[in-house]
Structure 1
Amino acid sequence: MHDTGGAGAMGDLSAFRQEFYRCLTARADAVFEVTDAVLCADGPVRSLPELSLVGEHRRGHGSVYAALDRGRIEVARLRRALASVPLPRAADGRLVLAVDITCWLRPEAHTCPQRMLCHTYGRAKDSHLMIPGWPYSVVCTLETGRSSWTAPLDAVRLAPGEDAATVTADQLRTVIGNLIDAGHHRPGDPDIWIVTDAGYDAPRLAFLLADLPVAVLGRMRSDRVLRRAAPPRQPGITGRPARHGGEFVFGDPASWGEPTVATTTETRLYGPATARSWDRLHPRLTHRSSWVAQTGTLPVIEGTVIRLDVARLPSGAIPKPVWLWHSGVDLDAGEVDLLWQAFLRRFDIEHTFRMLKQTLGWTSPKLRDPAAADRWTWLLLAAYTQLRLARDHAADLRRPWEKHAVLQRLTPARVRRGFRHLRTQVACPASAPKPSRPGPGRPAGHRNQHPAPRYDVHIKTPSNQKASKAAGPRPRRTG
Structure 2
Amino acid sequence: MSLLRHDVRREPLAELSRFRGEFYSCLTARSDALFELTDAVLCGDGPVRSLAELSLVGEHRRGHGGLYAALAQGRVDADRMRQALASVPLPRAADGRLVLAVDVTCWLRPDAHTSPERILCHTYGRGKDQHIPVPGWPYSIVCALEPGRSSWTAPLDALRLVPGDDTATVTARQLRDLIERLIASGQWQARDPDVLVIADAGYDAPRLAHLLRDLPVQVLARMRSDRVLRRPAPSRQPHTKGRPPRHGGEFVFGQPDTWGTPDTETVTGTRLYGTAVARSWDRLHPRLTHRSSWAAVDGTLPVVEGTVIRLDIERLPSGATPKPVWLWWSGTGADAADSDRLWQAYLRRFDIEHTFRLLKQTLGWTCPKIRAPEAADRWTWLVLAAYTQLRLARPLAADRRRPWERPALADRLTPARVRRDFRHIRPQATCPARAPKPPRPGPGRPLGRKNARPAPRHDVHTPRKRQPTKRRTKKSATPRPRRTDEEPR
Q: TM-score, normalised by structure 2?
A: 0.96
Letter in 2 for 1:475: R
1:253 aligns with 2:256: yes
The answer to whether the 8 A contact 2:103-2:142 is kept is: yes
1:240 aligns with 2:243: yes
Mapped partners of 2:414, 2:452: distance in 1? 49
Q: 1:307-350 CA deviation, whole Å, 9 max, x = no partner?
A: 00000111111100000000000011111101000000000000
Distance verdict in 2 for CA 1:79–1:344, change over 3 Å: same
Q: Provide the secondary structure at the position in 2 that maps to 1:152.
A: strand
Mapped partners of 1:422, 1:83: distance in 2? 23
Shift of 1:464: 5.2
1:349 aligns with 2:352: yes
Q: Provide the secondary structure at the position in 1 that maps to 2:352.
A: helix
Letter in 2 for 1:446: R
1:301 aligns with 2:304: yes
Mapped partners of 1:391, 1:361: distance in 2? 20
Q: Provide the secondary structure at the position in 2 that maps to 1:304.
A: strand
Which of 274, 277, 281 is the matching residue for 2:277? 274
Q: Which moved more, 1:125-134 or 1:346-355?
A: 125-134
The answer to whether the 8 A contact 1:17-1:428 is kept is: yes
Which of 192, 195, 200 is the matching residue for 2:195? 192
Shift of 1:466: 4.1
Mapped partners of 2:70, 2:411: distance in 1? 34
Q: 5 Å matches for 1:180-219?
A: 180-219=183-222
Mapped partners of 2:125, 2:462: distance in 1? 20
2:487 maps to which residue? none
1:42 maps to which residue? 45
Q: Provide the secondary structure at the position in 2 that maps to 1:53.
A: coil
Letter in 2 for 1:298: L
1:393 aligns with 2:423: no
Which of 403, 413, 420 is the matching residue for 2:416? 413
1:446 aligns with 2:449: yes
Which of 466, 475, 483 is the matching residue for 1:478? 483
Q: Provide the secondary structure at the position in 2 that maps to 1:90.
A: coil
The answer to whether the 8 A contact 1:122-1:129 is kept is: no
Distance verdict in 2 for CA 1:28–1:466, change over 3 Å: farther
2:4 maps to which residue? none
Letter in 2 for 1:420: R
Mapped partners of 1:121, 1:182: distance in 2? 37
Q: Which moved more, 1:262-271 or 1:462-471?
A: 462-471
Shift of 1:6: 2.1
The answer to whether the 8 A contact 2:222-2:328 is kept is: yes
2:3 maps to which residue? none
Q: Provide the secondary structure at the position in 1 that maps to 2:357.
A: helix
1:290 maps to which residue? 293
Mapped partners of 1:421, 1:246: distance in 2? 64
Q: Provide the secondary structure at the position in 1 that maps to 2:55.
A: helix
Distance verdict in 2 for CA 1:464–1:223, change over 3 Å: closer
Q: 1:192-243 CA deviation, whole Å, 9 max, x = no partner?
A: 0000000000000000000000000000000000000000001121000000
Q: Provide the secondary structure at the position in 1 that maps to 2:395.
A: coil
Q: Provide the secondary structure at the position in 2 that maps to 1:223.
A: coil
Shift of 1:475: 2.5
Q: Provide the secondary structure at the position in 1 that maps to 2:189.
A: coil
1:378 aligns with 2:381: yes
Distance verdict in 2 for CA 1:286–1:93, change over 3 Å: same
Distance verdict in 2 for CA 1:16–1:323, change over 3 Å: same
1:403 aligns with 2:406: yes
Q: TM-score, normalised by structure 1?
A: 0.98
Structure 1 unmatched ranges of 5 or more: none
1:431 aligns with 2:434: yes
Structure 2 unmatched ranges of 5 or more: 1-6, 485-489
Letter in 1 for 2:452: Q
Q: Provide the secondary structure at the position in 1 that maps to 2:288.
A: coil
The answer to whether the 8 A contact 1:107-1:132 is kept is: yes
Mapped partners of 1:5, 1:114: distance in 2? 48
Mapped partners of 2:471, 2:394: distance in 1? 50
Which of 334, 337, 346 is the matching residue for 1:334? 337
1:469 aligns with 2:471: yes
Q: 5 Å matches for 1:40-189?
A: 40-189=43-192
Mapped partners of 1:254, 1:465: distance in 2? 36
Mapped partners of 1:87, 1:411: distance in 2? 17
Mapped partners of 2:364, 2:9: distance in 1? 30
Mapped partners of 2:381, 2:176: distance in 1? 19
The answer to whether the 8 A contact 2:126-2:132 is kept is: no
Which of 455, 458, 468 is the matching residue for 1:455? 458
Mapped partners of 1:409, 1:122: distance in 2? 29
Q: Provide the secondary structure at the position in 2 that maps to 1:229.
A: coil
Shift of 1:5: 4.3
Mapped partners of 1:464, 1:445: distance in 2? 48
Identity %: 70
The answer to whether the 8 A contact 1:149-1:411 is kept is: yes
Q: Provide the secondary structure at the position in 2 that maps to 1:205.
A: helix
Distance verdict in 2 for CA 1:135–1:466, change over 3 Å: farther
Residues matched between the structures, number:
475
